[in-house]
Structure 1
């Protein structure tokens, strides 16, 4: 059901060219499902006949709707438009409100970072992801902090692969605290890499997507891609490496300090984490939370903070993140 626009709503007429029936069907989706998705998210009404569309709603939301329809129509020329495509296009329209000031030169992202991989071109969606990619390129140490589904890990791995393939670094090192997420997993068989691999699955999934299974296996055998459990990093110095520490909220203060002091010459480090999903014992302080305070303002270090509005997974994920945030705030208010 379409959302009822306000009485003072603006109207915008949009004609999409060329008038291609198959392309328009691809854009609208089965039973106009994509149009309904746009209506519900923006709070507008979309009427269409052929390639003629009329959008009714507030001036700002109608403008967003026009941009989304044009973007998806361009996509429909070569690819099948999915509900995920619609969600991502909508997310980009809301991204500007939750990033830094549009008057800031960095926010304009004139020199946007674009990564080319075997799966095609990878670029940031919305200003926060674009800023994150730019921070990784321009800083030796970058933090990406925010809820699940905002692309923190995926973009870090993409940046690592990009750096490796262009000889910016000589190896990729994957690090993650081996903290069980509220479950007792018991004894895990195998060598060190096999024991830690289940904890590094999100990193490997991204590597497989960008490099393929066989190449990842070959590079792992040659130690170009290395599995490094956080607890075993002590005493090492990582030179000419791209180091990714994932799920950093589960590191202790001592572990975080130890990890950050492993960075050597020619290396790049990216630390990702979500402070709402800490699995440490309640009496133990998160190294990621501590690092935000201690390292704020230190030259050469960047922090990118993602919000629920930056979630690029299934739309339901954003709603779940928001629901948990509201519940936690209510609990804190009652405490």
Structure 2
């Protein structure tokens, strides 16, 4: 049967659990470290294997074999000191019973209103993030989670470019910020997301058009305008895997300084110093999975780091600005919608 304990989402562990090959004395690697950590979490201390750094060394030596035998004896298994299918299945069941915690129900994708109005003013709309994985540092820290965090950090920039190649540079950067466990805000590459994701570009253009329609109703003069409410959108994996894993669902809105005047013939002219704003809460609440060089990353698996205080959810923010000019009855020139570097 497939293993359910999130920390066992490791290629070496999965192979051992299917006897291809099982783990035995002499084996080495991250999977061995996960096995050692699970046994420690169950009350089988390994002072020799953890004496250098405080976490398991990933070496299947005599101490590890002895602890496997002790576990097998307690579970009425064959006491051979080999971690194979029956041993891992029993270990998986015991770890699930000891540490499992149901995930909160994931929030549905943000609704996409069919219309939107602006208002006079500068106050940004209220943003209500989804619940995420729960309270930070709300459950006991396990050795298996500590080992898994170390294995992930070893494949993330700046130590390695592996994750950037598999899930994308922005996704790897955002994941590293999560694992840094600081809760500091992260300013995303909003220009890059709009350029690389078709629906993100459509959302930006729609926001500009909504602001344009509102400005054209204003009286001659200068006006501060802001969206009445934020509008939701979502990066989908089929469009761009990098931004799907980096952000997923998010909220955007617009604001700016509008100037309405008339030319010598009485035709109305418009100027809008427009700002497009972005917000998302980087969290793990269901619906994503990726494998990076033998490590399967799922929402439950990543959310456990937050609950155990080993990583921390944080706010992603972003903003881009455009100077827009047009006349009554005209569209905004497409070139004005591009970043300065693309004009």
- Name the structure where helix makes up a greater proportion of residues: 1
TM-score (normalizing by structure 2)? 0.26
Return the TM-score normalized by structure 1: 0.26
Structure number with bigger Rg: 2
